[in-house]
Structure 1
Amino acid sequence: MIIPTIPSFRHILKGIWLPLLLMFVWDVLVTLLYFAQPERYQEFQSSALSRTTLTLFGTVIALFLGFRSNSAYARWWEGRVLWGLMINASRNITRLALSYIDSADARARELREAIVVNQAAYVHILRCQLRCTDRSEPAYRLLPADRAERMLAYTNAANALLNENGRLAAQALAEGYIDTIQQSRMEAVNIDVANAQGGMERIKKTPLPMQFRLFPQLFVRLFCILLPIGIAPYLGIFTPIGSSMVALMFLAALHIGDELVDPFANSAHDLPLEAMCTTIEIDLMELIERPAPSATQPVKGVLW
């Protein structure tokens, strides 16, 4: 996620510089053609492409892009809400484990610390699964080697860790450290965690329909090709500048939708999952008096 209020020009042009450059070259060629044969050009332009046609075409594309961008942002914002619920639930399960399971003996301390450490590892492994990155690093860093190896054997290691926490709560009940009401309350928080994970996986595995991705790209590029042909008689030598500015706005709107549609990808515009997971780990490790990592810092204005 980009941190500065005003992002750098490099972030703006990173995904659109190549099509924008091609559009500028096309604008220059159209402008040269207009000055080479202005009479024949105006005759063709007036009969084939009027200002009204371009205006209507551009208006429809703008509405289409606006609807697409809103749909993509809704997915991004839902992902942020779900991770907010995950942060709260992680703190809640830790508070319940530390409050309900007494630290009178070594076994009780082992159970409650295992629940807390599992939750810290769970969010990191879930982050790696959503971003399709290596999940072994946080597993072996936070969990005992045998438990990490056992969890990583599952296709959905995050879900396996969540089930492990449910098993530990049931074991604490069986050994008399908590009662049934306390175990039910802890299980309710685990259900909240599972629901949040399910929502994230739904967003990750359900892309926008093909029509939302293919048609806007096709129409925007077609409009950018036709635009200099329609405005060359009115802007003259300034056609490449004016046409490129319009192309920049349309291509930027198109790129924004592409970036926001998957909030869990590993790009500069996506949710800062690593920072949120580190925040959870810091909170949980400090509560059980274990060494906690430092907060994630932005890299070149981007928080990952």
Structure 2
Amino acid sequence: MIIRNRPSLIHLFFIVRGSIVMRILPRILVITAMSALIVLTHRLRPDWLPTFESAPFALLGIALSVFLAFRNNACYDRWWEARKQWGELVTTTRTLARQSMIINATSVEARDRLLQMAIGFTHALRQQLRASEDLETQLTTRSQAGSPESFLEGMQREIITLRSQGILTDIPYSLLDQSIAHLSRIQSACERLLTTPVPFGYTLLLHRTAYTFCFLLPFGFADSLGWVTPFASALVAYTFFGLDALGDELEAPFSTQPNALPIDALSRQIEINLLQAMGVEDLPPLKKPVNFILL
């Protein structure tokens, strides 16, 4: 996620870090160079190039804009749904820490084990969603590395043991069980977002239409705009290719791209919250943005 203050009007046009300009710059340069070549050829050898009316490009541009907006809205919905799930994870772990305070009266060690496994579950889920990382090097607690399911099963076994020993009565056991079940639902929702992308047909149709439109645009405006055509084509390419690239980043909310969710930082925040609940004083530091990007 990009974390930075709102830029001034002057700086707005020169910001590169955290934007999608560098990703689409080669395509913009190709469109600009091709547009300049078309204008030059149109001036020197007008009979070599076909001519098009500009009106169809206006209609096609409107249709393409609507379709881009539809796809980007779908991608943003995925991003926002992922953020809500991780917000629920923060809330549920804090609730679990408060609910588990009843265990402190008889078994501090059991409560610490339960919260340690909740920390392990958070890091394991993050590692599963962002599979390029090494879980064991990311854990700053003593939790055993494993899959999210193994931590949930360990938490469930812990409260079952406490219930069988009479440490937990029915109501506290039921509350803790509901919190563990909620963690499982959050995991399932994140896995659904991870494994179910926007239908490929939408992306394929958008790519084909955007590239075709940008490549044909100079032919329609070389006569009327002249040497302004390369600039106009580059601006249109920046808009369409930029929205397309931004949609790709929002479609994968758990990736390490600049506009993805900062689940590393959220995991660390959950870890700090639970360690504080356990009375630990030597806490790991919060994650901070690096070059305006928080992962």
State if a TM-score over 0.5 links the two structures. yes
CA contact (8 A) 1:118 1:143 kept: no
Q: Deviations over 1:130-176 (max 9, x none)?
A: 0112222235x4235xxx2xx53xxxx11110111111111111112
CA contact (8 A) 1:102 1:177 kept: no
Q: 2:98 aligns with which of 82, 95, 98?
A: 95
- Letter paired with 2:270: I
CA contact (8 A) 2:121 2:152 kept: yes
CA contact (8 A) 1:86 1:196 kept: yes
Q: Distance in 1 between matches of 2:239 and 2:48?
A: 27
Q: Counterpart in 2 of 1:23?
A: 31
Partner-residue secondary structure (3-state), 1:266: coil
Q: Counterpart in 2 of 1:125?
A: 124
Q: Counterpart in 2 of 1:72?
A: 75
Do residues 9 (structure 1) and 1 (structure 2) align?
no
Q: Counterpart in 2 of 1:255?
A: 245
Q: Counterpart in 2 of 1:112?
A: 111
- Letter paired with 1:161: F
Q: 2:279 aligns with which of 289, 296, 299?
A: 289
CA contact (8 A) 1:125 1:138 kept: no
Q: 2:214 aligns with which of 224, 235, 242?
A: 224
Q: Distance in 1 between matches of 2:138 and 2:233?
A: 49
CA contact (8 A) 2:3 2:294 kept: yes
Q: Distance in 2 between matches of 1:286 and 1:138?
A: 19
CA contact (8 A) 1:121 1:138 kept: no
In the superposition, the TM-score normalised over structure 2's length comes to 0.93
Which residues of structure 2 form unaligned runs of 5+?
none
Q: Distance in 1 between matches of 2:121 and 2:283?
A: 16
Q: Distance in 2 between matches of 1:176 and 1:292?
A: 33
Identical columns (%) = 28
Greater fraction helix: 1
CA contact (8 A) 1:172 1:178 kept: yes
Do residues 299 (structure 1) and 290 (structure 2) align?
yes
Q: Distance in 2 between matches of 1:202 and 1:228?
A: 42
Do residues 62 (structure 1) and 65 (structure 2) align?
yes
CA contact (8 A) 2:156 2:180 kept: yes
CA contact (8 A) 2:250 2:260 kept: yes
Instruction: Report 1:195-206 matches (<5 A).
Output: 195-206=185-196
Aligned pair count reads 285
Q: Deviations over 1:191-211 (max 9, x none)?
A: 111111110000000111111
- Letter paired with 1:273: I
CA contact (8 A) 1:80 1:271 kept: yes
Which residues of structure 1 form unaligned runs of 5+?
none
* Structure 1 residues 284 and 95: alpha-carbon distance in aligned structure 2, compared to 1, 3 A threshold: same
